[in-house]
Structure 1
Amino acid sequence: MSHARRAAAGLLVSLLVAAGGLGGGPVGPAVAAPPDLTTAEAGNPFVGGWYADPDVAIYNNRYYVFPTASRPYAEQTYLDAFSSTDLITWTKHPNVLTTANVSWARYAVWAPAPIARNGRYYLYFAANDIQSNAALGGIGVAVADRPEGPYTDAIGRPLIAQFVNGAQPIDQDVFIDDDRQAYIYYGGWGHANVAKLNGDMTSLGTFADGSTFKEITPAGYVEGPQMFKRNGKYYLMWSEGGWTGPDYSVAYAIADSPTGPFRRLDKVLAQDPAVARGAGHNSVLNIPGTDSWFIFYHRRPLSQTDGNARQLAYDRMYFNADGTIRRVTMLVKDDFSDGNALGWRTYGGSWSVAGGQYRAAASYGGKSLLDDNHANARYDADVTVTAGSGDAGLVFRATALAVGADAYRGYYAGITPAGRVILGRAAGNWTQLGSAPLTVTPGTPYHLRVEAAGTTLKVFVNDMTTPRITVTDSTHASGASGVRVYNAAASFDNVAVTNR
């Protein structure tokens, strides 16, 4: 894990670590803190493509994410990275490490762990998915002069090449404590080890008893250990369940020492059948100088069954007064400030993102939906009808999606310059359920909200205390959420879906 998440907020040594400066590493200006985000406000996934196992770092006034390329093992021959100054807009850095620069690595390049020290940037990785000590592979270390590489093999062989204490040498994480001692945590096959790294960051040290490895496996551990420090306490996080299944999740323990003992406390992150499955293999980011923390992880979209169909996401992580971690809520938001509509799928119409808004040209029923499955929820969006005499608004509890004016099964609430707010249901045809007068001026944004609780549907516009429409209908129980236009052009902003 990066220096950025290592130590308690507010301590000078922590800020030096966050910048990569502890131990003589590269030091840049203090990274600018982003707004007080609750999630990826511009939408999860926050970058495009299939990726997994993200780890984070702060280098030279930028946030960096280093993930695994989520592809078949034989095609996992490279690592990409992404960087941002604000956690909103991300720049892709392709091929920061490839097997061409590691003589012993052939495939299954996994779980990069970035850290800076000694004026250089180090990237720890697993390769070859070895199944026994007779095979060549394990955990390697690469080095570069720039955060975005190119990284090259630092020692010409794996740093950890054998099974020790039953731990497959994969899923490494590197942590530098306040006393400048570096540790590497790793392990698959249900076992976790910790070892000391020497000051050169390319060789292993020994503990006081002369041992090189200590087993620290907590109850329920499967893989993916991650270490960070907050208020003098050591937090070990790890993944549980099967990586291809919906039960993949993250749990944690707290200890007084970087070597434990680590006693499992709780699950922190798990699937939400309304949002995504298989949420796991995390890292943690602390914004320097603050007590704002984020959990970065991968997850599988609800409509995907391929094990490698994994995307990168992050959400806010909060602590209780006693230092324990609250369970993470995977929020659904998109304010389109990143200039894209990742995670949205269109069904007819012409859609684009510009000026921090999701824009639809006029069409007869063009719609765009998220890959979610909400039932009882609150749906919000800022809706601006920009042209036409039709309407624009929110689709919810939608299934059987296709191109066509009413080619879906679900509900729709919209506003129209004709002077109405409407609510209806579709199932290949249209049934209006409610209508109320509303002055709608083209070019003016209106905050549209739907509250769906069981069979009760309420529609609000601007005034969030008094619904404009309240109806009872039991036709559609759950489904996807999104936006739609009918005989109108419109723009949408600040879309959010919240479980009730």
Structure 2
Amino acid sequence: MFVMAYISPLEPTATTRSSIQLWLIFLTKIFVLNHIMGFAMSRPTQTSLINNQHDQIIPDYTTSEAGNPFIEGWYADPDTEIYDSIYWVYPTASYSYEQQTYLDAFSSPDLIKWTKHRNILTTDNVSWAVNAMWAPAPIYRNGKYFLYFGANDIMEDAPEGVVGGIGVAVADKPEGPYVDAIGEPLIGEYHNGAQPIDQDVFIDDVDGQAYIYYGGHSHANVAKLNEDMISIGTFDDGTQFKEITPENYVEGSQMIKRNGIYYFMWSEGVWTGPDYSVSYAMSDTPLGPFKRVAKILEQDDSVARSSGHHGVINIPGTDIWYIVYHRRPLSETDDNHRVLAYDRMYFNEDGTIAPVTMLVKDNFANGEMFNWKTYGGDWFVVDHKLNAAESIGARAFLDTNFADLVFDATISNITGDSGDAGLVFRATDLSTGADEFKGYYAGISPAGVVFLGKADSGTWTSIYEAGIDIFSDVQYRIRITAVGSKISVFVDDLDNAKIVVTDESFTRGATGVGVRYGGATFDSVSVAKP
């Protein structure tokens, strides 16, 4: 609808001013009505919202919907930034100290598809750094991109002449190359017992003051950064480093701000152990005091172990928050085999942070299958779907270990005259071959049958089967719920189960998908606790 009005260019009288005001009110109502109607006609999907101001897709996910880890490779200690509407993640290369001589970065326009930027900073660019290049912290100021990093794992009792600590590098682009800005550590000594590692840099929107939060060995400090961002400032009392150590602090400082509240976050526990986790404190000032509120992220024996050392992403202009962190896959025994993941972080009405749930999903929108291990057959992702080529038997498993679960997926394009495709759960002994495992399998055949059976090292036992409606080119929504010994199988109708049985053969194990004597396509995989 278009409304046109002519307003005299002459000095307005009281009457014309009143007319102008009426026209402005009318036009405002029209704009609001059009905005409401437009919003109603294009409601947001589960996975994205449209930012009308900038015509950008706002990532509104429950987790990394395309799967965690969201990038390939061994990485840890991620920190994040948003530069020109592009999301950036800067992690540690998770190998032995001697191999940690470089830093990579990853960028994405949508938190789904990521581009790898190799060797943005290496020890070749830092004269005093030898190894153990850790936990980069990015920030932008004064037309430059700064990257703060730890190097050399310096100890408090280090011999004279041994150099290490927190350095600062600078670049003209987010992807670098970065070069050492000052030729020596920015913070190269212990202050208040804090090892100079695991820094986060924060610029307060109140006065533009930049702060660096850091610390290992169970002590945390805060210091001011001068305007140049490459030198340490001084507090009003003449000191440069203030201790802010909260209860249970170990390492991994992180500062965020929401609704005027400062949230100091950190990792506690041992980085190799089951107690590694993330906790936080709240304060009205950037200097604290910081009293521990709660733990919000910890390992889940069904999903991953040793979850911690994180960064945070707040989608601009929204209250959508993500925690980006590292964790160790369940099947990995090497301490350095850590991967990057992110999950949604929610705030309660009182401003506290709700515990984070590590969700398991994969819609293959990134065209990858990073967290899957295959046994038999030929597996590949095409058009955001996982495909199993025709074979006698093939399985693809997530690195999970669920007992009670709700397991969802869609299955389509089932091929083979006598073939079937379905979901595998509570599975163990996976490495012995495609058909040689222990666990349950719920499948669908093109002949119009849904069935539940169990495999026990090559021995197949049918438990129950039922009929389903068959359509050409159909996509089936299949759900498994398993709580204790009760197992239910749903197909399309998620209110009424096709199969309900009691069986106690297997209590927990991996989840996956599979085919027998045919092929199929899988999508929208989700595994959760009931």
TM-score of the superposition, structure 1-length normalised? 0.93
Equivalent positions of 1:155-194 (< 5 A) are 155-178=182-205, 179-194=207-222
Taking the aligned partners of 1:477 and 1:291, their CA distance within structure 2 comes to 39
Deviations 1:395-424 (A, max 9, x none): 000000135453100000011111100100
Residue 335 of structure 2: SS of its match in structure 1? coil
State the partner residue of 1:305: 333
1:332-369 per-residue CA deviation (whole Å, 9 max, x = no partner) reads 00000000000100000100001000000011220000
2:165 paired residue number: 138
CA contact (8 A) 1:417 1:442 kept: no
Q: CA deviation at 1:33?
A: 4.3
The structural deviation recorded for 1:34 is: 3.0
1:418 equivalent in alignment to 2:442? no
> Which residue number in structure 2 is paired with residue 441 of structure 1?
471
Asked whether the 8 Å contact 2:406–2:527 carries over to 1, the reply is yes
8 Å CA contact 1:334, 1:495 repeated in 2: yes
1:400-419 matched pairs, under 5 angstroms: 400-402=429-431, 404=433, 406-419=435-448
SS in 2 for 1:34: strand
1:498 aligned to 2:525? no
* 2:413–2:519 contact (8 Å) kept in structure 1: yes
Q: Which secondary structure does the structure 2 equivalent of 1:80 belong to? A: strand
Displacement after TM superposition at 1:443 (Å): 2.9
1:264 to 288, 292, 298: 292
Distance 2:465 2:371 in 1: 31
- Maintained 8 Å contact 2:106/2:115: yes
The 5-angstrom pairing of residues 41-440 of structure 1 reads 41-132=65-156, 134=160, 135-178=162-205, 179-389=207-417, 390-402=419-431, 404=433, 406-427=435-456, 428-440=458-470
Asked if the contact 2:397–2:511 (Cα under 8 Å) also holds between the matched residues in 1, the reply is: yes
Match of 2:30 in 1: none
Letter in 1 for 2:169: A
The answer to whether the 8 A contact 2:280-2:292 is kept is yes
The aligned residue for residue 6 of structure 1 is none
CA–CA distance in structure 2, aligned partners of residues 442 and 158 of structure 1:
66
TM-score relative to the length of structure 2: 0.88
Alpha-carbon distance, 1:246 to partner = 1.7
What do the CA deviations read for 1:206-247 (whole angstroms, capped 9, x no partner)? Answer: 111010000000000000010000000000000000011121
Structure with the greater alpha carbon radius of gyration:
2
The list of structure 1 runs, each at least 4 consecutive aligned residues, that deviate by more than 6 angstroms after superposition, is: none
Aligned to 2:27: none
Rounded to whole Å, the distance in 1 between the matches of 2:59 and 2:249 is 34
Structure 2 unmatched ranges of 5 or more: 1-52
1:466 partner letter: N
CA contact (8 A) 2:414 2:421 kept: no
The answer to whether structure 1 residue 467 and structure 2 residue 494 are counterparts is no
Which letter maps to 2:225?
L
Deviation sequence 1:117-137 (CA, Å, 0-9, x none): 000100000000001353201
Secondary structure in 2 matching 1:158: coil
Distance 1:472 1:61 in 2: 52
1:473 aligned partner, one-letter code: D
Cα distance in structure 1, aligned partners of 2:302 and 2:432:
23
In structure 2, the partner of 1:7 is none
In 2, Cα distance between equivalents of 1:34 and 1:315: 15
Aligned length: 472
Cα deviation per residue 1:157-216 (whole Å; 9 max; x = unaligned)? 100000000000000000000110000000000000000000000001011101000000
Higher relative contact order (CA 8 A, sep 6+): 1
